[in-house]
Structure 1
Amino acid sequence: MSETSKPVEKLTVEDAAQELARLAAEIAEHDRRYHGEDAPTISDAEYDALRIRNAEIEAQFPDLVRQDSPTGSVGAPPAEGFAKVRHAVPMLSLAKAYTDQDVVDFLERAKRFFERDKDFDIAFTAEPKIDGLSASLRYENGVFVQGATRGDGTVGEDITANLKTIADIPHRLKGSGWPEAIEIRGEVYMTYAEFQALKERSAAMGGQDYVNPRNTAAGSLRQKDPAVTASRNLKFFAYAWGYTTEDPAPTQYDSVQKFAEWGFKISPLMVRAKSVDELIAQYKLIEAQRSSLGYDIDGVVYKVDQLELQRRWGFVTGEPRWAIAHKFPAEQATTRVRKIDIQVGRTGTLAPVARLDPVTVGGVTVVNVTLHNEDYIKGLDSNGQPIREGNDIRIGDTVVIQRAGDVIPQIVSVVIDKRPPEAEPYQFPHTCPICGSPATREVNEKTGKEDSRRRCTGELICPAQAVEALRHFVSRGAMDIEGLGAENIDLFFNAGLLKTAADVFRLKDRRAEVQQALFERREAQAREREAAKGTARKKVLSAEERTYEGLDKLFAAIDARREPELDRFIFALGIRHIGDTTAALLARTFSTVEEFIRVGKETAAAEDPHTVFPSINGIGDTVIGALIDFFGNERNDAVLDELLEQVHPKPYVVNISAGSTVAGKTVVFTGSLEKMSRGEAKAMAERLGAKVAGSVSAKTDLVVAGPGAGSKLKQAAELGIEVIDEDQWFERIGQGN
């Protein structure tokens, strides 16, 4: 049993220290993705479980509490590109309740704390917990002067101009009686209707797809152009305040009612209550109305109503004692599996997808759910053990699905009682549904076990793999060609304009055909919209409407990538098991694309690849095997030759011989870098022969700190590690002014 699965009471001191280190790193990464990038990768419930385990271990081993403990952290550091705002009063997170008993315990703690006030009835408020982006709005003499995101709870991003585009946020307070200065706090959100309208507008223009209202609202609020924010029709609920020169009212409830008088929208579901029964009754009422509200909520917040008692009860690290968020369980729904389709990915993986009767879960209409692989369909894990009630999944089955947080829906169980008599176990295909090539499950030579995924062996002759490979080739982490997203790749591929990566750089030579393909898609989408409205398409687009305004910009973006960095080029090739980090290792080792290809081909031809391929720390047999497969396939030779006629990857230069002062050193970048992105900083240091680490340790040689550097700076001081700022970094590497 690993320390990650051991009960806390069975952890040794060594286990606990390792587990706290793992949890600190994992929670920090999820905070960054959720608050900094608006792109969570786990559910709220999974995230909360990580924090609960961390808190339990810290309580059991108080001497092991880390300086970077998640217990005291809120949110994530402010994103680059916006001015920073320091909150006069921190924007804290809330403790969580998951059961009715947790709510009972919360009220019992309150009663015990205020036990001496025996003749004083403690009241509480209950209101929906809106799932959006927290914002703080500063008003001086009734005028809105500054708005900021939560950020890390202490420092946020200045998004004043964007907030001013939201109709629910008054530029000047109404009525009278407002304090000389006050920071109104609340949640910016997007309604389901507006989210769906945005998705339709974006699809009609061939733009990006949007995942969910919460992330879309957050991304909309962080736009550099306020006009983009204004077009998204965001909403705002006010529910709290930070700094104020005087209390709006003596109680939480009456203060929020004041906000309504001043021109803010407040939740109509906020109530005042005095007992557990009343609070839980309101929780159940709100939960019952959840799907009909038109916007996302993920729980109910309870607060001590009297402000005097809030102040007396005070705070615990990162959280007020006088408030708690009662979270909703993962929302579930029942639907039917209409069919199972097989999609083929970039590396040939056959990915099964269940097509469902449409059902609304968590405010989102779900019609598809991934089935992962054929073992999953059979209801088995990698060890052949059952993973769900009801075991296998069949076409026609009634299934229970859930969306925990904002993650992809999953099947929880199969309702066996409703299984049709004619339903047969699903037969996973052994040939590719796209090209007809055999689809096989590889065997791991070390373990002797079959891989859980079945893959098409057609490679470049398989259209599905070709499309996915092209999508990967132009993606942000690879060649990063702006304007050539998944929809345009699909369009140009189906129109015969793209077959291989080299064709991307020949699109400009086929301008008229590219423009015609874009026009035909726009016209088809217009007809679909008219048909959906029940009206006929009255006219074709005019000659002016047929012109795709972004065409010159697209061609310019393509031309700008004709001399890519070698590591990006290697990653863009889409070789199995070679991610961006491994691509950088290969680029650093071989320096030029010619040397990379030469060694790759010689390795593929050798009886013993280890006699040819150099020993590289971080690259093992799995990667070497993938290179052998790639360079040993003659069909890839022609593709590479054509591509290299169009692009000329720049040599990967490591300036060790040029007197690099950081060669061989381990460098940590922390804080908000102002002259370069974090990715640029890492690439720069690696090209100078340095190793970039994500955390400070005794092995760290140098810390480069920008504004807002926190615990890493303190660790560096304790370990006696040299710390410099960004300007000093450029001077150190010989690029100072």
Structure 2
Amino acid sequence: MSTEIETPQADRPTDELREEYAQLVETVRAARMAYYVQDAPTLSDAEYDQQYRRLEELEALHPELVANDSPTQEVGGEVSAAFAPVEHLEKMYSLEDVFSIEEFTAWVTRAEASIATLHQAPEARWLTELKIDGLAVNLLYRNGKLVRAATRGDGTTGEDVTHNVQTIKTIPRQLHGDDVPEEIEIRGEIFISTQDFKKVNEERVAEGKSPFANPRNSAAGSLRQKDPAETAKRPLSMYVHGIGAVTGLELTRQSEVYDHMTSWGLPVSPYSEVLDSVDEILGFIERYGEQRHSLTHGIDGIVVKVDDRATQRQLGHTSRTPRWAVAYKYPPEEVNTKLVNIAVGVGRTGRVTPFGIMEPVTVAGSTVSMATLHNQDVVKAKGVLIGDTVVLRKAGDVIPEIVGPVVALRDGSEREFVMPANCPSCGTGLAPAKEGDVDIRCPNAKSCPEQLRQRIFYAAGRGAFDIEALGWEAAKALTDPEEPGRPPLTSEAQLFDLTVEDLAEVRIRRPRRGKDAAEGETELVPYFWTKGSAKKPSVPSANTLRLFDQLEQAKSQPLWRVLVALSIRHVGPTAARSLATAFGTMERIRQATEEELAATDGVGPTIARAVIEWFSEPWHREIVDSWAAAGVRMEDEVDESVPKVLEGLTVVVTGTLDNFSRDSAKEAILLRGGKASGSVSKKTDYLVAGASAGSKLDKAESLGVPVLDEAGFERLLSGGPEAMET
């Protein structure tokens, strides 16, 4: 009789739960891209944290859902095509976040228990410092000279911003002292001080420009200026707080690292202390929580690190976070304001989302008048009525969150929100995509002007074609102008067929200017061409000419970026890279079966099904065909000189390798025809185990899977399985 016990059906993830998980992955990945790469957050910190923690919860309950491209397996964001990619010598990790004192003390208790078992430092000391609300940057010094600066990017590869960083006065180009190491990576945060941020915004308002939303994204946008001279105009500062790879210097304590960095001339934060107990750390948290608005820079929490570096190494890392450090996040700030109305917006996938329109209120340093409400069920769950005084929460970013109503202030004039029956953009009847869906969608995907506008804007984004001149307003002018009646674009298939002459008559409505203009008066003006007069005829604007130059450049973008630009549901940059690497051409992807797509490392059944469904639509295929006819690159150049020595083999890489990042090891396997898997099974042919290999190594040994060190991996790459027999 078999002793195998079948898992009860109730314990398996339902279709609804799988759909929720897929949507969470898409939402979190998009928010991460918007925050780290586009410097324009789409979710509040509180909302992002909530979505991310729900994602972690689902993965803990159902590990079979976890894919390599889950945001929980990644660090930071993608790398913008506007800057050259730079691979860090040592990976830059994210920090584990905790959101309450109870969670924090539980983390410390676990860490202390782990430390006690090491018998190296039975009583830990804790370096405690402020969590700067800035942009993470890695500085590489060789023999004391600054040779490179890069953003964190995805943790392994960042953006080369060396020339921009060199304009920041507080960052030395040459380190000083007798103990400067031969080579060292210095990690820190670039920020705009609270005082300078206020001054910059006052100057912008005086010049008639819109103020920056918050210091963090102002700093990030300033550092990512393509012209270093523009970066030099911004009052950027930096505090350093750690190191990566180091050669030629032994360092025993994190606080000692700070002492050395100070002596070398690097700017170290004055807000750090080495503490001996949880009570002392809690006192630090409370003290700076009260002082957070009077500090040099914005903060969103406190970082606590094990001070002893040997203990740090022994505790190691997960795939995403160090086990020896944690970030305690302060609760987001809250204010009360009046909810004037609830309107709805239409996204690029047709999802219709309610959002609150509020009396403008200042919170976390910016003026807020709108906040997302996700869907009609969320509106009901929060219990908010139009006309309510609501609690608004904002965690120092752009997108706020309506927490709920202040019921005691209701006077009876409030009214319920009713979800519209028709799309506000095209008038099509709204409905769920399938029975049981919470989200309401506009099914007119092809012709809905707002969906098309959103897709065009998304295709032009940094994660896709990276067409800077095609912004939000330009996308509207192309898809839904005031004049002429027929817009220049009725499908993204026409994007690369546009001519300058097509845009000559496009007009949008703007506030009328001039001394005789009445308040609120508007006029129709050309968007892509100059206004023109009897003496000076209308001509294409400089930005329009730049748009066409960038459209031409976009045609040569790699295949994965073209895939992202297609707005296939669930296919973000990570999945697109996997598909492009595995199949090489758009034609092979569109001809692949669902099983072939799902078998691609980092893709899985949900994304595979989305790709199949997308290509099943004739008008979708027309987009690809039109772009290809216009000269858009539809295949990647493959280095045929590399022999396919790993054809048919599955290789798993775990732990830290000296000469390979996780991504470069994966690319090396794929380039040689192998499958780079993220999990060990009986089908695994080799496990490559670096430092801190962990549970995958244990499983490989239990299954009898051959285990290679880094030298063995290099032999495998050069000669395949035959090279392992010699």
Please report how far the alpha carbon of residue 429 of structure 1 lies from its aligned counterpart in structure 2 after TM superposition: 0.7
The CA distance in 2 between the partners of 1:458 and 1:700, in whole Å, is 45
State yes or no: 1:317 paired with 2:315. yes
Please report how far the alpha carbon of residue 426 of structure 1 lies from its aligned counterpart in structure 2 after TM superposition: 0.9
CA distance 1:637–1:483, shift in 2 (3 Å):
closer
Counterpart code for 1:699: K
State yes or no: 1:719 paired with 2:706. yes
Q: Indicate the residue corresponding to 1:181 in structure 2.
A: 180
TM-score (norm 2): 0.59
Q: Indicate the residue corresponding to 1:131 in structure 2.
A: 133
Q: Indicate the residue corresponding to 2:602 in structure 1.
A: none
State yes or no: 1:469 paired with 2:455. yes
Partner SS for 1:435: coil
Q: Is the 8 A contact 2:38 2:462 kept in 1?
A: no
Partner SS for 1:490: helix
Identity %: 29
Q: Indicate the residue corresponding to 1:295 in structure 2.
A: 297
Q: Is the 8 A contact 1:287 1:328 kept in 2?
A: yes
CA distance 1:316–1:192, shift in 2 (3 Å):
same
The CA distance in 1 between the partners of 2:448 and 2:130, in whole Å, is 50
Counterpart code for 1:237: Y
Residue by residue over 1:303-337, the C-alpha shift from the partner in whole angstroms, topping out at 9 and shown as x without a partner, is 99xx9xx7999886259999976542333333322
Q: Is the 8 A contact 2:86 2:157 kept in 1?
A: no
Please report how far the alpha carbon of residue 673 of structure 1 lies from its aligned counterpart in structure 2 after TM superposition: 13
Aligned pair partner of 1:353 in 345, 352, 355: 355
State yes or no: 1:647 paired with 2:634. no
Q: Is the 8 A contact 1:668 1:693 kept in 2?
A: yes
Counterpart code for 1:99: I
Aligned pair partner of 2:419 in 428, 437, 443: 428
Residue by residue over 1:186-236, the C-alpha shift from the partner in whole angstroms, topping out at 9 and shown as x without a partner, is 532234677799999999xxx999986446645765778654643443212
RMSD: 7.3
Q: Indicate the residue corresponding to 2:409 in structure 1.
A: 418
CA distance 1:500–1:266, shift in 2 (3 Å):
same
Q: Indicate the residue corresponding to 2:170 in structure 1.
A: 168
Please report how far the alpha carbon of residue 567 of structure 1 lies from its aligned counterpart in structure 2 after TM superposition: 8.4
Please report how far the alpha carbon of residue 693 of structure 1 lies from its aligned counterpart in structure 2 after TM superposition: 3.5
Q: Is the 8 A contact 2:361 2:367 kept in 1?
A: yes
TM-score (norm 1): 0.58
Please report how far the alpha carbon of residue 413 of structure 1 lies from its aligned counterpart in structure 2 after TM superposition: 2.6
Aligned pair partner of 2:683 in 699, 708, 723: 699
The CA distance in 2 between the partners of 1:104 and 1:566, in whole Å, is 46
Counterpart code for 1:719: P
Larger Rg, first or second structure (1 or 2): 1
Aligned pair partner of 2:383 in 376, 392, 398: 392
Please report how far the alpha carbon of residue 470 of structure 1 lies from its aligned counterpart in structure 2 after TM superposition: 2.8
Partner SS for 1:505: helix
CA distance 1:696–1:297, shift in 2 (3 Å):
same
Aligned pair partner of 1:554 in 517, 525, 547: 547
Residue by residue over 1:71-116, the C-alpha shift from the partner in whole angstroms, topping out at 9 and shown as x without a partner, is 99998999995666758x9999799794289679979x99xx99xx
The CA distance in 1 between the partners of 2:254 and 2:636, in whole Å, is 64
Counterpart code for 1:350: V
Counterpart code for 1:554: L
Counterpart code for 2:476: D
Please report how far the alpha carbon of residue 350 of structure 1 lies from its aligned counterpart in structure 2 after TM superposition: 1.5
Q: Indicate the residue corresponding to 1:230 in structure 2.
A: 232
Counterpart code for 2:407: I
The CA distance in 1 between the partners of 2:288 and 2:544, in whole Å, is 49
Please report how far the alpha carbon of residue 124 of structure 1 lies from its aligned counterpart in structure 2 after TM superposition: 9.3
Please report how far the alpha carbon of residue 703 of structure 1 lies from its aligned counterpart in structure 2 after TM superposition: 8.6
The CA distance in 2 between the partners of 1:498 and 1:571, in whole Å, is 19
Please report how far the alpha carbon of residue 431 of structure 1 lies from its aligned counterpart in structure 2 after TM superposition: 1.4
Please report how far the alpha carbon of residue 353 of structure 1 lies from its aligned counterpart in structure 2 after TM superposition: 1.0
Q: Write the mapping of 1:534-545 to structure 2, written as runs, cut at 5 A.
A: none
CA distance 1:420–1:690, shift in 2 (3 Å):
farther
Q: Indicate the residue corresponding to 1:19 in structure 2.
A: none
CA distance 1:685–1:209, shift in 2 (3 Å):
farther
> How many residues are paired up?
621
Aligned pair partner of 1:492 in 478, 499, 508: 478
CA distance 1:698–1:587, shift in 2 (3 Å):
closer
Q: Is the 8 A contact 1:473 1:479 kept in 2?
A: yes
The CA distance in 2 between the partners of 1:401 and 1:376, in whole Å, is 15
Q: Indicate the residue corresponding to 2:343 in structure 1.
A: 341
Residue by residue over 1:286-316, the C-alpha shift from the partner in whole angstroms, topping out at 9 and shown as x without a partner, is 3233245473212345799xx9xx7999886
Partner SS for 1:400: strand
Task: For CA contacts below 8 A with separation 6 or more, give which structure has more relative contact order.
Answer: 2
Please report how far the alpha carbon of residue 676 of structure 1 lies from its aligned counterpart in structure 2 after TM superposition: 13
Counterpart code for 2:419: F
The CA distance in 1 between the partners of 2:86 and 2:98, in whole Å, is 31
Q: Write the mapping of 1:3-402 to structure 2, written as runs, cut at 5 A.
A: 81=84, 98-99=100-101, 128-133=130-135, 145=146, 161-171=163-173, 180-181=179-180, 186-191=188-193, 213-214=215-216, 217=219, 221=223, 226-227=228-229, 229-237=231-239, 259=262, 283-291=285-293, 293=295, 295-300=297-302, 317-318=315-316, 327-379=329-381, 391-402=382-393
Counterpart code for 2:378: Y
Counterpart code for 1:189: F
CA distance 1:559–1:135, shift in 2 (3 Å):
closer
The CA distance in 1 between the partners of 2:492 and 2:673, in whole Å, is 31
The CA distance in 1 between the partners of 2:665 and 2:476, in whole Å, is 31
CA distance 1:668–1:420, shift in 2 (3 Å):
farther
The CA distance in 2 between the partners of 1:158 and 1:713, in whole Å, is 35
Partner SS for 1:165: coil
Aligned pair partner of 2:440 in 449, 454, 467: 454
The CA distance in 2 between the partners of 1:574 and 1:679, in whole Å, is 27
Structure 1 gaps, min length 5: 1-10, 12-24, 58-69, 115-121, 380-390, 532-539, 601-612, 733-737
The CA distance in 1 between the partners of 2:137 and 2:215, in whole Å, is 16
CA distance 1:199–1:546, shift in 2 (3 Å):
farther
The CA distance in 2 between the partners of 1:541 and 1:294, in whole Å, is 49
Q: Is the 8 A contact 2:334 2:392 kept in 1?
A: yes
The CA distance in 2 between the partners of 1:587 and 1:147, in whole Å, is 29
